[in-house]
Structure 1
Amino acid sequence: MSGVPHQLAKHDVKPFLLLVLLYFLQGVPVGLTFGTVPFLLKSMAKGTTFTQLGVFTMATYPYSMKILWSPIVDSIYSRKTGRRRSWIIPVQFLSGIILWILGTAISKNMVFSGVDDAYHGVNASSSNTASSELSISTLTICFLSLIALCATQDIAVDGWALEILSKESLSYASTAQTVGLNTGYFMSFTIFLAFNSADFMNRYIRAIPKDHGIISLSGYLKFSGALYLFVTVYLLFFTTENPTDAPALPTKKNDEKVDDFIDYNYDTNPAHTSLSGVYRSFFKVLKLPSVQSLMAIHLVSKLAFQCNEGATNLKLLERGFKREDLAVTVLIDFPFEIIFGYYVAKWSANVAYEKKAPMTTNKVVKFLVGEPGTLTPWLWGFLGRLTAAFLANVLIAYFPADGNITHGYFFMVIVQHLLGSFMSTVQFVGICAFHTQIADPAIGGTYMTLLNTLSNLGGTWPRLLILFMIDRFTKHACRYSNKIANATEEERCIAAGGEWLTIKDGYFVTNIFCITVGCLLYFGFIKRRAQQLQRLPQSSWQCR
């Protein structure tokens, strides 16, 4: 096959839509864990510190550790059920059960006490620090288990994507992942928070105000659990491991042409499906110089954005930005994420299929991203996210002192959010397309999991450190009787009739540190190494 795949092959539409659905389900717990729960903790439990939120981020660690058990997922399965369906079906079923149980526990105040009080006719009040600590420790364990299952499902789905799409449509695996994950993430984070907010509902939807939204956290978790179970039943009874509506690839005889037949990426070599064989191949992959270079890029590339993406929204909330207004800004992002995400995927796919990219003539472009190649979208995304991180500093620094949000400031918040989320999508799609291009189908699930795990790890390991730095560099003081005096606790200050002041915000110190390190890494290491990796032949990535 030659040329650029301008559209998805007709016979790959159904497998593509199935992948979108499976990635969508993964996005549901990811959106809850990465976005919704920290947001609710910060908005409802005023005493929740950034360090405590950093502890909750431990629930996201399975996505950065899944490579440890990915060879097991790749090699142990039921031949009757299928290599991928053997894991996807039971894992999704168990995830649905856990979501339902967790929703029930929250509705009975057994977990995250008070979060749904308004829905039960109880006057909700701000949680104290002690209760938030208990909620955080409990929630961390609950969502750690859920994300571990989600990460296991991701291993199987990534491997399935390399097998159920034909080679001519393989680059669209990243499109399915982008559309599915983003939709699930935004439904569980942005859309949920909007419809969970009483202020948002009363301002934009309802004619008669009420003291709660229309979707409780417990109700949403139960709904998500039911959706998981419904899709699992569909997978069990209405799908097969391999496509059945397309002709198989025959053996070529003499001068017979086989271009009209569909080439899939099935692997039947026992050395690549046994547990010991997969682990051996896995260690061979780790020894490849190309993979080691890519590993180094992944582990350091996301440090520059951690303060912005982990704390900016929470800092706006802390400064007095209304919850319903923040929900509106992120809701505006959602259609752009889906629409632009699709075209970014096509951009990455087209670049990946070019035999020879034209030489760059623009000196500014060459300085910023180098010669064009498969990783060009990812490099542009890095610079865009770096710019968004800088704009975040401006937003927080110029937050209105009186708390009155003007239309101009609100527009700035929208622009900053849109830039950051869009460029994050550009990077995500770009690196997924690159991973799909270089992954060896012989150990597709493990290979893709290794690459995706390294990418996830780059955004996971610094998060706790960054959130701790914000608290560490923040300085408070208690003002009373027109004097400034040191105080050990906010409660003591307020009880004494004083005013608790922030005299130094650690957010600015931390964000500037991240941006500076990011610039040095990008122009000193990342751009140059990415240029080298995108020029390597396919053989440099194979473990055989």
Structure 2
Amino acid sequence: MASKYLLLGMLYFVQGMPYGLQSGLLPIYLRTVGLSFTSISLTKALYFPWILKVFWAPFVDQCWNKQTWLLLSMCGLAVACLTCASLSPGENCKALATVLILMNLMASTQDIAVDGMAVRLLNQDEVGYGNTIQVVGYKLGSVLAGGGFLAVIHLIGWRSLFLLLASMYCLVMVYTWHATELQTRPSCRSDREKLQHRSLNPCDLLQELLIVPGTTWTLIFVINYKLGEQGAMSMFPLFLLDNGFSPQELGVWNGMVAMGFSIAGSTLGGVLISRKGPPLSLLKVSLILRLASLCFQALVLFLFSSKSSIIKVAAIFSIILQHFMAGIISTLTFSIMMHCTQRAVESIQATHYSFLATAEVLGKLVCSTLVGGLVDAVGFAPSYLLFLMLSGLTIIHVMKAPVIGN
């Protein structure tokens, strides 16, 4: 069991690094060189492979094995990092954007393989801890590549940063190559079952995914649950940057300390699932608490003054509180998704989970892409009122969950 968790943790860790680079380091860097909120938000469009991954998820399900896909995707990520090391971000924006798209393509393919492997490796009693490792490992990778590198990039430089990342991918590739969990676990799918699902056209496959019990409710939830939270977490650090906080301060408080609390929240979420039972009842309480923390952050924004030490401390505390609640909710959400996917036949489980995960990314991406334009157009205060409303709608949806949502 320990080796199973270690393998999942390492794979999710390296999978989170591209996200950390683009969500933690890149927006602050671009704002320091004078780009508008709208332009910064539009860089989120580079995540589009995560939305499209459901189209190649069936190939990951049916062709080769999960170990092969993991090795190929991490090799692609290592090559992308080496390419980034040779680029100058201020002079080769188009080339950098192309490489970042490649990184997202490789990371999303790795995600399909890892999620499919996790669904099969984890039994019902292990889902809580398994999803804790998933969320925590991903966030640790994001913290290292985002907040950690933002805090030290002026010391180690752009080139050394990406050479280090490439080395880390190579080390995890070696570990994955020798992982006994991937080499010895037999497949229980019959040749007839494989042939049946391989011949499905997209419409038939979509129907197969939607008839899995609880899929429709889960799909709507994962699209919506991040909307208000994502808008606040994307814009509040940039608000602080415009009001006296330095990039280094944000790298420490938003990129490292707050993410540490996010990891603590994710860990707590896994422990609660393992000890308290079905995640849905825990999710209802957590969403209400998140709405309260978002109200507190909105109040800080309305009263913010860069000359007030108390308000600055409150701003940092609001970031920490938001990340902590986001960590709890993320683990609960992914556990609900995995419980839902485990009801599907094994030959489409990776595709089913990718289908749900794609909806989750779509919700985050749409919000984070459009929120900059919203803030530029109407300002922070009206935008936060919208964030509060979206978070409230998510609570209403969860309160109306069917029994199968547990």
**TM-score, scaled to structure 2:** 0.90
Residue 143 of structure 1 pairs with residue 106 of structure 2: no
AA matched with 2:90? F
* Distance of 1:58 and 1:456 partners within structure 2: 12
Deviation at 1:153, TM superposition (A): 0.3
1:337-356 alignment runs, 5 A limit: 337-352=262-277
Tell me which of 31, 38, 49 is aligned to 2:20: 31
The corresponding residue for 1:470 is 375
Sort the Cα spacing of 1:62 and 1:323 in 2 relative to 1 into closer, same or farther, 3 A: same
Match of 2:141 in 1: 184
| Rounded Cα–Cα distance in structure 2 between residues aligned with 1:448 and 1:336 | 27
* 1: CA distance, partners of 2:239 / 2:138: 26
The question of 1:515 aligning with 2:384 is answered no
Query: What is the rounded CA distance, in whole Å, between the counterparts of 1:230 and 1:71 in structure 2?
Result: 28
Contact 1:384 1:419 in 2 (8 A): no
1:288 deviates by 4.7
Deviation at residue 19 of structure 1 after TM alignment:
0.6
Deviation string 1:230-267 (CA, Å, 9 cap, x unpaired) is 2213322x2245465xxxxxxxxxxxxxxxxxxx8943
The more displaced of 378-387 and 221-230 is 378-387
Q: Against the structure 1 CA distance between its residues 441 and 161, is the aligned structure 2 distance closer, same or farther, given a 3 Å change threshold? A: farther
Q: Distance in 1 between matches of 2:79 and 2:329?
A: 33
Give the letter for the 1:13 counterpart: A
- Residue 60 (structure 1) aligns with: 47
User: Which residue matches 1:421?
Assistant: 323
Contact 1:163 1:265 in 2 (8 A): no
Local SS of the residue matching 2:120:
helix
Range that drifts further, 427-436 or 19-28: 427-436
What code does the residue aligned with 2:191 have? P
Give the deviation of 1:152 after TM superposition.
0.5
Q: RMSD over aligned Cα, in angstroms?
A: 2.4
Q: What is the rounded CA distance, in whole Å, between the counterparts of 2:128 and 2:188 in structure 1? A: 18
- The question of 1:526 aligning with 2:397 is answered yes
**Aligned pairs for 1:323-472 within 5 A:** 323-330=247-254, 331-352=256-277, 373-400=278-305, 403-404=306-307, 406=309, 408-439=310-341, 440=344, 442=346, 443-472=348-377
Measured in 2, the distance between the counterparts of 1:379 and 1:409 equals: 30
Q: Which residue of 1 aligns with 2:11?
A: 22
Checking the alignment, whether the CA contact within 8 Å between 2:37 and 2:373 is kept in structure 1 is yes
Specify whether residues 33 and 296 from structure 1 end up closer, same or farther in structure 2 by C-alpha distance, changes over 3 A only.
same
Looking at structure 1, the residues matched to 18 and 362 of structure 2 have their Cα atoms a distance apart, in angstroms, of 18
Q: CA deviation at 1:456?
A: 1.7
Which aligned pairs between 1:273-288 and structure 2 lie closer than 5 A?
Answer: 273-274=194-195, 275-276=198-199, 280-288=204-212
Q: Deviations over 1:272-321 (max 9, x none)?
A: 43422596455312245731222222223322223211111011101221
1:376-400 CA-to-partner distances (Å, cap 9, x unmatched) read 3333332333333333323333332
Instruction: Please give the alpha-carbon distance, in whole angstroms, between the structure 2 residues aligned to 1:388 and 1:141.
Output: 37
Residue of structure 2 in register with 1:363 after alignment: none
Q: List per-residue Cα deviations over 1:63-101 (Å, max 9, x = no partner).
A: 222111111111111xxxxx1011000110111011111
Letter aligned with residue 233 of structure 1? V
* DSSP 3-state at the match of 1:530: coil
Question: CA 1:292–1:168 in structure 2 vs 1: closer, same or farther (change >3 Å)?
Answer: closer
Residue pair 1:470, 1:507 contacting (<8 A) in 2 also: yes
Residues 216 and 271 of structure 1: CA distance in aligned 2, closer, same or farther (over 3 Å): farther
Give me the whole-angstrom Cα distance separating, in 1, the residues matched to 2:263 and 2:225: 24
Distance 1:471 1:417 in 2: 21
Q: 1:293 aligned to 2:195? A: no
Distance 2:273 2:140 in 1: 20
- In the alignment, the residues of structure 1 paired with residue 265 and residue 386 of structure 2 have an alpha-carbon distance, to the nearest angstrom, of 30
Deviation readout 1:419-445 (Å, 9 max, x if unpaired): 111111111100111122221351221
Deviations 1:15-69 (Å, cap 9, x if unpaired)? Answer: 11011000000011110112211111112x12x1111112100012222221111
For the 8 Å contact 1:171–1:436, the answer to whether it is kept is no
Structure 1: 5+ residue runs without aligned partners? 1-11, 78-82, 114-133, 197-212, 245-263, 353-372, 474-505, 536-544
Q: Aligned runs of 1:206-355 on 2, under 5 Å?
A: 213-236=154-177, 238-240=178-180, 242=182, 244=184, 266-274=187-195, 275-276=198-199, 280-288=204-212, 290-330=214-254, 331-352=256-277
Point out the structure with the larger helix share.
Answer: 2
Do 2:84 and 2:162's aligned partners in 1 also have CA atoms closer than 8 Å? yes
Who is 1:122 aligned against? none
Cα 1:319–1:228 shift into 2, 3 Å: same
Evaluate the alpha carbon distance shift between residue 389 and residue 217 of structure 1 in structure 2; reply closer, same or farther with a 3 A threshold: farther
Counterparts of 2:252 and 2:23, CA distance in 1: 19
Structure having the higher Rg: 1
Rounded to whole Å, the distance in 1 between the matches of 2:287 and 2:295 is 13
Q: Given the alignment, which residue of 90, 113, 119 partners 1:112? A: 90
Aligned residues: 399
Give yes or no for contact 1:379–1:527 (8 Å, CA) kept in 2.
Answer: yes
For residues 117-148 of structure 1, the C-alpha deviation after alignment (integer angstroms, 9 at most, x for no partner) is: xxxxxxxxxxxxxxxxx73x554332122111
Residue 74 of structure 2 corresponds to 92
SS at match of 1:61: helix
- The answer to whether the 8 A contact 2:5-2:130 is kept is yes
Q: 1:272 to 1:38 in 2, by over 3 A?
A: farther
Conserved in 2, the CA contact under 8 Å of 1:163 and 1:266?
Answer: no
- Alpha carbons of 1:343 and 1:296: their partners in 2 closer, same or farther (altered >3 Å)? closer
SS at match of 1:432: helix
TM-score (norm 1): 0.68
CA distance in 2, matches of 1:393, 1:418: 14
CA contact (8 A) 2:214 2:405 kept: no
Inter-partner Cα distance in structure 2 for 1:380 and 1:218: 45
Aligned CA distance change for structure 1 residues 334 and 57 (closer, same or farther; 3 Å): closer
Aligned to 1:42: 31
Which structure has more RCO (C-alpha within 8 Å, separation ≥ 6)? 2
Inter-CA distance 462–341: structure 2 relative to 1 (3 Å threshold)? closer
